[in-house]
Structure 1
C-alpha cells in the first residue's frame, strides 16, 4: 500500500470520529497544509467542508440508509406550493451539515429543531412505526428509533407530518402526486359519525399511518369538507363501553369546555368540537399547522425550541422566562404561559409538559400557538383502572396565581363541566366539589406580590 493511499485511509479514520479542523488534521497526519489540501482534493466527493478560513472544518459524509449524501428539505407555503428550504448532510459520528437555501453549511451535533418537531411521536407515531418500520428497515418499536431512523422515515414517508416541512425527494413527490390527483378523501359533516367510528377502530388496530401528531391519547387525522371549505383535523376518541372509557370521554368533553372558557377570556385556542355516537366520544380539533386543503404553516413545540436555544427546562414558565431573556419571545408570551400554567393548575391539568404547548415563528420572535391539550389529566384513569374521585386541593401555587384572577375563570370551567349532560354523573359530582374549592380560593386572602 502506497504512502498516499495510507494517508487517505488515516484521513477517513480520523474523520469517522467527527468533523475536524485543518490544524488538527495536519497534526494527526503529520503533514503540511499543502499536503492536506491535496488529500482533501482527492477525497472531496466523500467530504463536506464547513465554514471558512481558520474556522473551516472537514467532515466525512455518510450515505444514510441508502438515501444519499444530501437530503433535500422542502417548505410548503399557505397555498400548498413547494419550494426548497434547506439541505441536510448526514455525517459520520451522527453529526449533520445543515444548509439553508442561499446560506453556508452549519455543523450540528443533533437534528435541526425544525426536523425534531416533525418526528413521529405519541400514539400516532407508534402507529406509524407499526405500519412502516419493517418496510423501511427500521426498529418496529418507536422508542428504539435514533435520529438517523427518524430521518430515514421522514425522507421516505414524511409527506404529512407536523409543520410545513417535507423531508426528502420521495416524500415531496408523494405529496405532489396526491395534491395533483384531485382524489381527495374528504368526510362531509353528516358522515362523521360513521367514518369516525371506522377510523377509531382502525387506529386502535394500529392501521393509522397518517400525520404523526404527538400525544399519548388515541387519535387519528381526518380531512373534513365543510360549508367554509376543507379542514384538516386531529380527532381524539374514547369508547364509552367501560368505566375507564367513560372517564376518558369526560376528559375529552372537559378539553372542549376548557377551550370555550379560555377563548371567552381572550386566549387563542384550538377550534374544537365534540361529536358523539352511541358508544364513542370524539374531540375534533382543527389543525393550526394546516391551511385549507394543501396549505401549511410552521409549528414547533416548546420542548424543541427550549432544547435548541436554552437547554432543559422543567415548566412552561421557566422556559418562557429564559426564552424572553434571549429575546426569542415577547413579554406577552411569558404572561400568557404564566396565566395558562395557573389555569391548568386550578383545573387539575397535571400534564403541562413542554411538548404540550407550541410556538409559531414570527419575523423576529416566536409567538404562542393556539392552546391545546388543556384538560384535567389529574382525573385520568390510573393503573389498575382506578378512577380518582377526590376534589383538587388549593396549595401555595394556587394562592399565588389567584393574584392574576384565574380562579374565577377556573370556576367558569368547573361550572360548565358540572352542567354538561355529556358528562357522567360521577364526574359531575367531582366538578361540584371543585366549584367549592374554587370558591374557597377566590374568597380567601390574597398574597400581594
Structure 2
C-alpha cells in the first residue's frame, strides 16, 4: 500500500508540484503523518523547499546520466574555490537552489525560496551565446547529445554543457565537480599561455581557427569574431577577449579596423573621465587589426570575479527585454541592485554610448559584479564603440548620418557628463593616425553635432 501511495504522491508532484503537505494529503486522501512518512521514504526523489508553514515539496528529476543534483562553486580572486550551494533539477523543467551560506542576491524576491522555473538567472550568462557560443556548441554538441544548432538548445542541454565543459565560462561560478577540477587544473597549468612578443605570430593563426569554429574558449557573448587568449606577464597571467577585423585591404575590413581602434579610444576616454572600463590594446598583424580587452572577471593568479549582465537581471526580475540604460538605472537603484553612485555611472554610460553612435547597447552589453549581497557594483564598461557605422550584413560600407541626441530634463546632469566625454572621444578619433581618413571625417562631423547640442544645454 505504501509503495502504491508513494507512486501516487510522486505522480502528483510531477504533475502539480511543488505542493505543501496539506494539499498532498487532501488529494491523496491521507493524513498529514502519512504524508510525512511517504515523503521521507522517497529519499532524494523528493525535494523539500522552504521551512515551517511555507514548506513545499517537489519531485526531483534526472537529467541524462548526470544525476539530479550538483554542487555550485565559486572561484575567488585568489583562485581558491568555495561551495556556494547545491542545484537540483525538478519535474517540469524547474530547478531548486539551496545556498550553503546566506546569499540573498541569488535568491531574491520571487526566488526567495530558491525555486526557479528554468535554469537560475545567475547562470544565464554562462549559456553559450554569440560568435564564441556557436563555436562552443559546434565542438561539444555531439558529446552531450545536444543539437548542433544553438537555437534548438533547451535548459537541459545548457546544464549538461556546463557540467562537462563549463570550466571557463564568464564570471566566477562553476557547476559540478568535473568542471571545477578542470578549472583548477587550468589555473595550475601554463599550457596555452602566450608571451607578449608571440602575439603577432599567433593571433592571425588564432583568428583563422576562430573563423573555422575551432578556437578554444568560453561563450563570451557578442557577434564580432573573437577568441580568448592568456598572456604571460611579470605580474601573472592576463586573460583577454580578442576581437579581430576582417583583413583590412577591403572596405569592410578597413571599417571594422576603424571601429576596433574606436573601441580602444572609448575605453581610454571613459577611464580618463573617471569611469571603470576594460583595459584595451590594439595590435596589427597578418593584415588584421586585433583589439585585446582584458577580462575583468579574471585575476593575474587565475582567480575570478563574479559577473551578471543586465540582460540576465532584467529577464528574471523586470522583463523589459529592451530599455535604455539611463532608464533602467532608475529601476535598478529603486529595487536595490545598484547604489546611487553606480546608478549615476550607468546613466552616464548610457548617454555616452548614444553620443558616440553605439547602436548596440542591449542589456547584455552592461553588467554588475555578482556577489552574495546587494547592491551589486557596476562592472567596468565594455563593447563601447560606434556600432552604427559598422558595415552592412552584405559587407558593404553604407553611409550613415549621426545626430546627437538631446537629453531628457531629468537626465540632464548625466547627459552633460556624457557629452563632455563624447566630445573628447570624437576629438581623439579625429586626431588618431591609426584611424582611416574617411572615418576621421565622419568623427569630425559627429563631434560637431555633439558640440552643437551640448552648447544648447550647457550649465
- TM-score, normalised to structure 1, is 0.93
1:7 aligns with 2:5: yes
Matches within 5 A, 1:27-426: 27-102=26-101, 106-180=114-188, 182-239=189-246, 240-312=248-320, 314-361=323-370, 364-397=374-407, 401=412, 404-426=416-438
Q: Is the 8 A contact 2:260 2:290 kept in 1?
A: yes
Q: Deviation per CA, 1:130-187, whole angstroms, max 9, x where unpaired? A: 111111111111122222211110011111111111111111122233334x443211
* 1:430 maps onto 2:442 in alignment: yes
RMSD between aligned alpha carbons? 2.1
Worse overlay, 75-84 or 106-115: 106-115
Return 5+ residue gaps in structure 1 as ranges. none
Q: Return the offset for 1:424.
A: 2.3
| d(CA) in 2 for partners of 1:56, 1:446 | 57
Determine helix, strand or coil for the equivalent of 1:196.
helix
Distance in 1, matches of 2:127 and 2:284, equals: 31
Deviation at 1:385, TM superposition (A): 2.7
SS of aligned partner of 2:126: coil
Moved more, 329-338 or 313-322: 313-322
Moved more, 336-345 or 382-391: 382-391
Partner secondary structure for residue 216 of structure 1? coil
Alpha-carbon deviations, 1:293-321, whole Å to 9, x = none?
Answer: 42111111112123334443622223221
- TM-score, scaled to structure 2: 0.91
Q: 1:323 to 1:407 in 2, by over 3 A?
A: closer
Deviation at 1:229, TM superposition (A): 2.8
Shift of 1:401: 4.8
Contact 1:131-1:208 at 8 Å conserved across structures: no
Task: Flag as ranges the 4+ runs of structure 1 deviating above 6 A.
Answer: none
Structure 2 residue ranges without an equivalent (≥5) = 103-111
Alignment: residue pair count: 444
3-state SS, counterpart of residue 284 of structure 1: strand
